[in-house]
Structure 1
Amino acid sequence: MDIKAATKAIKHGDVSPVYLLYGLEKYQIKEFTTLLVDELIQKEDRDFALVNYDLSESSIQDVIEEAETLPFMVPRKLIFVRDASVFTAGKEGGKIEHRIEALLEYLKNPAEYSILIFLVHHEKLDERKKVVKALNSAGIVLSFSPLGGHELIGWIERESKQRGCILATGAADILIRNAGAQLQNLSAELDKLCLYVGAGGTIDSNTVEQLVSRSTEQNVFALVENMANLRLEEALSIYYELLKQREEPIKIAALITRQFRIILQVKELMGQSYSQAQIASQLGLHPYAVKIAGEQARKYKPDVLKSILSRLTDLDYQMKTGRIDKVLGLELFLLRLAV
C-alpha cells in the first residue's frame, strides 16, 4: 500500500492496528501522523488518547504493555513510538534491552483499542529482520522518500492551491532553487508568499526572488548553474553578494568544489545508466539536486570537470597558505572558468 491509498483508507475508517512510517522526509511523516490524529481521535479525547514513547528511553516491552492496557476514558488510543531503530540495519544503540519477541507475539493478535505507529527516520529498513517481515504482514509499512523533480513541483502547486493562491509558470522552480527542496522550508515560504499576494493572488517569479532569500548553499548552487550556462555577470554578482554577507571565500570555494564533484559523480553514474532515484540513493542526495546536477553535467565533458576540480584543489591550497589573496583568487577562478 502506498501513502495515497493509506490516507484514503483512513478517511474511510479502514485503519490498521499497526503502522511503520519510515524515510527521510520528516515533513510528510508529520503530515501523516497529524492525519491519523485528526481522523481518529476527537479533540476532547487527546489528553488521554495520545501516548508517546522513545525506544532510546523505553523498551519495546513497555510499548507492548501500553498497547495491551485498556484506554482510560476514551474508546481507543494512538501510541507513537520514536527512535525505532529495531527495524533498521546495525546494532541498536543505547542501554535499553528490547525483547523483539514481545512485539512479534503482539503482532499475531493486536489489541483492537490501540493503534501502534512506529516512526523510523532512516532511508531504509532492514528487510532481513524477522520483525520487519512480520510487520509487513500484520500492519502497514509506508515509505516517505524525498520527492523527485515533477513530484516536488506538483506538491508545491497543490500546497499553494490549498492556501488559496496560484503559482505562475516557473515560480515553483525559482522557489526550490532559492529555498531548497526540504518540504518544511518550502511550506514556510509558501505561507509567507500566499500571505503577501493575498487570497486568489498569483505568485510569480519576481515575487519569489524578492521574498525568498537564498542560503549560502543555495547561492553557491545558483552561482555554479550560472557558470555552467556561461552567465559570468550573474555568477560574479552572486559572489560579490556573498562577500557582502561576510561569507569566507574558502568556504565558498569548498561549496563550489562540492557542487562540481556532485556534477562529475552524477555524470559518471548517468553514463552507467543509473536512474535519477538510484543516483540520489547512491550519493545520498535529494532527487531534485540530482536532477539539476544532471542538467549541469550535460554541459561539461568528464575531463573538463576533473580539470575544474583539480584547479579548485590548487586554489584551496594557495588560499590557505597565503600564496594568493582569497577574494582575488576565487574571483580569478570564476573569470577563467567562463573563458
Structure 2
Amino acid sequence: MDHLYLIYGQDTFRSSQMLQAIARRYLAKHAGAEHIVLEGERLTLQELEAKLLSQPMFVAKKLVILKNVLLQSPTALQANITKKLGDIPDTTVTIFYEAGEPNRRLALFKKLNQPGQSNEYRLLTQHELINWMTRYAKELGSVIDEPTALILALWFGADTWRLHHELTKLSAVSDKITEGLVHRIVTPQLQTNIFALLDAIAAKQRSHTSDMLKNLVAAGQPILQIIAMIANALRNVLLVQDVVARNGTANQYAIARELALHPFVVTKAMAAAKRLTAAELRRQFKAVQRIDRHIKTGTIEPMIALELLVAELIK
C-alpha cells in the first residue's frame, strides 16, 4: 500500500509544513487532481466511503488528507477504516495527518506506521532547535548565530510555531538576526517560557533550568508570578498523569476535554508526565509551595529563593 502515508508527532508546526509541501508537490505533478480534506472529529462512515473509497470521477488521480482520525474519530470508525485500507483505489493517494502523538497500540496506527510511509515529528532538543532555527532563518533570507538562537530556544523551548512567527518577524526587520535585535523586537511570554522550563525540569537539566529562571526575571517577570505558573504547570502534569493512569488513554484531545485544558497544554504535560513519577511531582509541587511561602513572609530573598527552588526541583 505505497499510496498510504502517515504524518504525526507533537511538533505540529514541522508536521503541518511537511503535509503542505507534499500536497503542493503532488498537485503540481498531477494537474487537475481531486483534492479532499476530511476532519476525523466530524467524519462519518458514509462520507468516508463516498470520498475515500470511490474512484475519481473526472480525473485520473485523487489526494485525500484525513486529519486526526487516530486522535479524534470514534473507535468503531477507526476499526472500519482499518478493514477498508485495502479497498482504497491505487489512484488515490491518502495521507493520515495527526496533530499530536496517537496511541501506538491502535490497530490502525500499526497498519499505517510502516517504514518509508510514516514520518514522526517529535519535539526538538535544544541542540536540534538551534540547527533548525539556523536553517529556517536562511529560508527566510536571514542569518542567525548560535548564541542568538540559544536565547530564543531558552525563551520558547520546542514551540516551533512561536519560533516560526518570531523568526519571520525578525527576518522582516533585518537579514542578520542578532542578540540585540531579539531583545529589542521579541517579547517573551511567561506561559510559553513555563512550558520550556517544564521540559528542562523533566529532563533534570539544572543549569538550563537556572538560566531560564534568571532570563525570566531579567525580562521583567515578577518572581511570585513565575512561581505560581510553575505550580500550575506541575499541577497540570499531575492531573494529566492521573487521567492517563485511570482511563488508559494517551489521547490529548480526550484528556483536554475531561480536564478543560487546551490540547497544547495537555501535550506538554504528557511529555513531562512520562519523565517524572507521581512521587517526584508531588515533592516538587510541595517545594514550590514552600518557596512561595518563604518569599511572601520575607524569610528568604527572592533571588536566593529561586536558586533554592532549582535545587529542590532537580534532585
Q: With structure 2 as the length reference, what TM-score do the two structures score? A: 0.66
Q: 2:30 touches 2:61 (CA, 8 Å); kept in 1?
A: no
Q: Which residue of 2 aligns with 1:300?
A: none
Residue 69 (structure 1) aligned with residue 54 (structure 2)? yes
Deviation per CA, 1:159-218: give whole Å up to 9, x if none.
111112111241110122234421111111111111111xxx321211111111111146
Contact 1:178 1:213 in 2 (8 A): no
Larger radius of gyration: 1
Query: Which ranges in structure 2 are unaligned for 5 or more consecutive residues?
Result: 201-205, 236-266, 276-281, 309-315
What's the Cα RMSD here? 4.5
The aligned counterpart of 1:84 is: 69
- Residues 25-84 of structure 1: CA deviation (Å, up to 9, x unaligned): 1111211111121111149967x7221212322235532442232324433121111221
Distance in 2 between residues matched to 1:163 and 1:124, nearest whole Å: 32
Cross-structure match for 2:43: 58
Q: Does 1:189 align with 2:176?
A: no
2:153 aligned partner, one-letter code: I
- Which residue number corresponds to residue 314 of structure 1? 290
CA-to-aligned-CA distance 1:263-293 (integer Å, 9 cap, x gap): xxxxxxxxxxxxxxxxx9996149xxx9xxx
Q: Is residue 206 from structure 1 mapped to residue 180 from structure 2 by the alignment?
A: yes
Contact 2:81 2:108 in 1 (8 A): no
SS in 2 for 1:68: coil
Alignment of 1:28-47 (within 5 A): 28-42=14-28
SS at 1:170 equivalent: helix
Instruction: Determine if the alignment matches structure 1 residue 135 to structure 2 residue 109.
Output: no
Look up the SS of the partner of 2:118 in the other structure: strand
The range that moved more, 62-71 or 186-195, is: 62-71
Match of 2:261 in 1: none
1:53 aligned counterpart, secondary structure: strand
Structure 1 residues 101-126: Cα deviation after superposition (integer angstroms, max 9, x where no partner): 4543x433531221111122332442
CA distance in 1, matches of 2:119, 2:180: 38
What code does the residue aligned with 1:111 have? P
Question: Cα deviation per residue 1:222-280 (whole Å; 9 max; x = unaligned)?
Answer: 9x969946x9xx9499279235xxxxx6542223557899xxxxxxxxxxxxxxxxxx9
**1:112 maps to which residue?**
90
SS at match of 1:41: helix
Q: Counterparts of 1:237 and 1:99 in 2: how far apart (Å)?
A: 44
Residue number among 136, 140, 147 corresponding to 2:124 in the alignment = 147
Q: Which residue of 1 aligns with 2:271?
A: 284
Aligned length: 265
Q: Which moved more, 1:15-24 or 1:185-194?
A: 15-24
Q: Check 1:338–1:237 CA distance in 2 against 1; reply closer, same or farther (3 A cut).
A: same
Distance in structure 1 (CA, Å) of the matches to 2:229 and 2:135: 32
For 2:185, the aligned partner's letter is: L
Is 1:157 matched up with 2:134? yes
How far does the alpha carbon of each residue in 1:144-163 deviate from its partner, in whole angstroms, 9 at most, with x for none?
A: 11112222111111111111
Amino acid in structure 2 at the alignment position of 1:100: A
* 2:73 aligned with 1:100: no
8 Å CA contact 1:21–1:118 kept in 2: the answer is yes
Distance 2:38 2:151 in 1: 40
Secondary structure class of the residue paired with 2:93: strand
How far did residue 219 of structure 1 move?
A: 6.1
**Separation in 2, partners of 1:177, 1:112:** 46
Which of 298, 301, 309 is the aligned partner of 1:332? 301
Percent of aligned pairs with the same amino acid: 18
